A and B are shown apart, each in its own frame.
Chain A
Amino acid sequence: MVAGQWTRRRPISWISLAAILISLFSLLPLAFIIWIAVQTGWETVSALVFRPRVGELLVNTLLLVVLAVPICIVLSVALAWLTERSSLPGARLWAWLSVAPLAIPAFVHSYAWITLVPGLHGLWAGVLVSVLAYFPFLYLPVAAALRRLDPALEDAAAAVGLGPWRVFWRVALPQLRLAICGGSLLVGLHLLAEYGLYVFIRFDTFTTAIVDQFQSTFNGPAANMLAAVLVTCCFVLLGIEVLVRGEERYARVGSGAARQQQRTRLGRATIPCLALPVVITLLALGVPFLTIGRWLVAGGADVWRLDEIGLALGQTLFLALAGALLATIAAMPMAWISIRAPGPLQRLLEGCNYIVGSLPGVVVALALVTITVRIALPLYQTLFTILVAYALMFLPRALISLRASIAQAPVELERAAASLGRSPLKALWSTTIRLSAPGAAAGMALVALGIMNELTATQMLAPNGTRTLAMAFWAHSGEIDYASAAPYALIMVAMSLPLTWLLYIQSKRMAGR
């Protein structure tokens, strides 16, 4: 309440202004697609949208989401329960191994599977590889939520005579609803946006079709109209999530801290239960590592062309760090007002940022290519444009981490600094911004992870002469030179592992352990 009074004295501060400008700017790709659709004219639009090919793509994309997301949910809930609530031997190790597949870029998962089973293709292949690549996005929040549950509720349910299964079904599961909804949304959006994974296994989705059109016609209307349909799909997912999430309260009320949970003893079921994490680890980590290893052995010393690899590594690190820095700075005003001056305006602005963050990279890139070519030519193919694209795509990642740590920085410090004569900007800098450094660092790590494994937007927007690890990997594997691609895959995984570890630690800390 105190914070509210403070902001009421200065209704629109420069920070709010910055947040508004950034949010408006982030709507650019969306505005662009609408503008192109209007400019193209209804007749052409309907001819390009209502055709059998779009129907095929729609069916493919829908089936993929409808099949892969529920499988991810079941798998994640089962794994999370085993690692958090049961007496599974080595639970901590299995918990980390359930997050680790995130360190492997989705297209490397696919590269591994196509090596192992060369004929793999189509819907079921898509579902298999997607689940293995993306289930940790669901596992993370579900495990964190399970860890936080107050055992008292479950005890009460058991006391009125419910069996263990029904306790889980009626008490624990409903409390996981938010985590499941959020995680499913994240998985669903990734399924819509992924390109490389589905190219390897020859499964056409909207994103692969947009890239095909881009490669055939650059920024023609057909590509943009496919993008419009894809954006609509994203909105549908966002809408479903809002509907399913509901408005129930899940907070624990009452005084004191929740008791530590008892782990369920698995007893004789231990061995069959152990099979699940073992099999998943084999499929999601064993297969990629074995395949990369196999190609590295087959390629020998020849595939380690150090000058090429070094250059790609340097450029990738540079783009990842610069992009992460920009995204974090851009997220700062938004994160600050969402904690210090929450209200309808802030919720609207934040919504804008999330919507753009949910757009596939190919859509953002397509918009920026056309905008810079037509209107802002000096910015075309510059470092600036690619960094802006990264910032737009990954802003939500930075925002979430920043917000959490700003919330923990007391506003009194800002005011004390101001009352000691610092200008508002300096007061903010010397207090909240410094205190939010750990959150900013975590957010930057998440953004950097995203940029390092980004392929489509980078290919479309990067300055001449750029070659990131992902681009080099893609070029080699496109010519079926899987051995030469292996070092790049290995480096991408090796660089992502520590970031994934950070993510794992952070999720534990958020749960208070």
Chain B
Amino acid sequence: MKYALSALASATALAISLIAGPAMAQDGGIVVYNAQHESLTDAWVEGFTKETGIKVTVRHGGDSDFSNQIVAEGAASPADVFLTENSPAMVLVESAGLFAPVDAETLAQVPQEYQPSSGKWVGIAARSTVFVYNKTKLTAEQLPKSLLDLADPSWKGRWAASPSGADFQAIVSAVLQLKGEAATADWLKAMKENFTAYKGNSTVMKAVNAGEIEGGVIYHYYYYGDQAKTGENSKNIGLHYFKNQDPGAFVSVSGGGVLASSKHPKEAQAFLKWVTGKGGQDVLKTGNSFEYAVGKGAESNPALVPLADLQAPKVDATTLNSKKVTDLMTAAGLL
């Protein structure tokens, strides 16, 4: 009986490994390290594979862990393509010399302002910083004029953010570039006193909506995404764009690049071309991602405030320094 049982167990194990084993292996195609929202990249991959027949295996993660991971992997990285939510991660990989130049045709699909002059990577989408607030707790007059105002003691205990996320770290990198290191360090120190930490921007919005806290610094699309679903986590939410070239009006460019070590460079370039082309940018307009389209002539979702109206500060994406930002945030006790 015992032997029968153990034989049965090993037979089951074998059977399952035969079924599931192959499903886990990467059989051909390209590997994408994806830091973008899973649903968005899944839609891109589906459209791309349908059109080209090229298989795509996706590994999900975040901007910062992937960029550092690619640097640690070096030339042996299994990744062919890297997609991010923000630029600093792209800059990190670029400065390690690990990107291949993006095909000229792909670069030509995206305006100059959404790509680095080096042509090593290209913008695939964009998102704007926004101050979300609970409409029952704050009126228009009480809103902060600048992101930097949130360091003021009067804002103690009243606002939230997700400091461990690459999104917020990208916003800090903009502050760093616009205001310099000393001012940024001071601002972060004051932030540590004033703010409440949440994990993830959706969680920040949910807490603001529930009135646990008055406001939060996140990106714009979380609100629209929730409104498109049930609105359950955003019904009390107001959006406040800082505008006026404030660091808080920062528009972050999501990037895509092909690794120099890619074993399938042709397919990888084709994927990037598709994402920045009509098919990929249409996904941004029609899907539920609510990120801004950046392709030439591509339209964003009509529900959004037009990108041109946001009065974003001019920030050179290639100079965003993610290493310095995490060091400063670690020093301020935020990480």
Neighbouring A residues of B210 by C-beta, 8 Å = 118-119
Per-residue contact bits, chain A 114-153, to B (CB 8 Å; 1 contact, 0 not): 0000110000000000000000000000000000000000
Interface size class of A (residues with CB under 8 A): 35 or more
**Contacts A53-B333, A321-B16 given; does A478 touch B24 at CB 8 Å:** no
The 8 Å CB contact of B13, one of A314, A325, A373, A475, is A325
Q: Is A463 an interface residue (CB 8 A)?
A: yes
Number of interface residues of B (CB under 8 A): 57
- Whether A218 pairs with B16 at a CB distance below 8 angstroms is no
Is residue B308 within 8 Å, beta carbon to beta carbon, of the partner chain? Answer: no
In the bound assembly, the distance between CA atoms of A318 and B331 in angstroms comes to 43
**Which of chain A's residues has its CB closest to B9's CB?**
A441
Residue of A nearest to B37 (CB): A479
Assuming A318-B24, A465-B58, A479-B37, is B326 touching A216 (CB within 8 A)? yes
Pick the contact of B73: A48, A311, A373 (CB < 8 A).
Answer: A373
Expressed in whole angstroms, the Cα–Cα distance for A218 and B93 within the complex equals 13
A317 touching B200, Cβ below 8 Å = no
Is there a chain B Cβ closer than 8 Å to A381's Cβ? yes
**Chain A proximity mask over B174-211: 1 for CB below 8 Å, otherwise 0:** 00000000000000000000000111101100110010
Nearest to B323 among chain A residues (CB) is A217
Across the two chains, which residue of chain B brings its CB closest to A214? B65
Residue contact B65 to A218, C-beta cutoff 8 Å:
yes
**CB contact under 8 A between A464 and B78, given known A216-B65, A311-B23, A315-B20:** yes
Instruction: Give every chain A residue within 8 A of B335 (Cβ-Cβ).
Output: 53, 209, 212-213, 216, 222
Q: In the bound complex, what is the Cα–Cα distance between A74 and B15 (angstroms)?
A: 45
| Chain A, Cβ-Cβ closest to B42 | A308
Q: Which residue of B lies closest to A444 (CB)?
A: B9
A383 to chain B, nearest CB (A): 7
Q: A475 contacts which of B60, B330, B333 (Cβ < 8 Å)?
A: B60
Q: Report chain A residues within 8 Å CB of B140.
A: none
Q: Which residues of A contact B78 (CB under 8 A)?
A: 380-381, 464
Choice from B13, B68, B333 contacting A217 with Cβ under 8 Å: B68
Contact of A437 among B3, B20, B203, B207 (CB under 8 A): B3
- A171 an interface residue at 8 Å Cβ cutoff? no
A438 at the interface (CB under 8 A from B): yes
Indicate which residue in B2, B198, B206, B333 contacts A438 across the interface (CB closer than 8 Å). B2
Partner of B21 from the list A53, A318, A373, A478 (CB cut-off 8 Å) is A318
CB distance from A374 to the nearest CB of B (A): 8
Give me the interface of B with A, judged by CB distance under 8 Å. 2-3, 5-6, 9, 12-13, 16-17, 19-21, 23-26, 31, 37-38, 57-60, 62, 64-65, 67-69, 71-73, 76, 78, 164-166, 169, 197-200, 202-203, 206-207, 210, 212, 226, 233, 326, 329-331, 333-335
Which 5 pairs across A and B sit closest by C-beta, in order of nearness? A218-B68, A318-B20, A314-B20, A212-B164, A53-B333
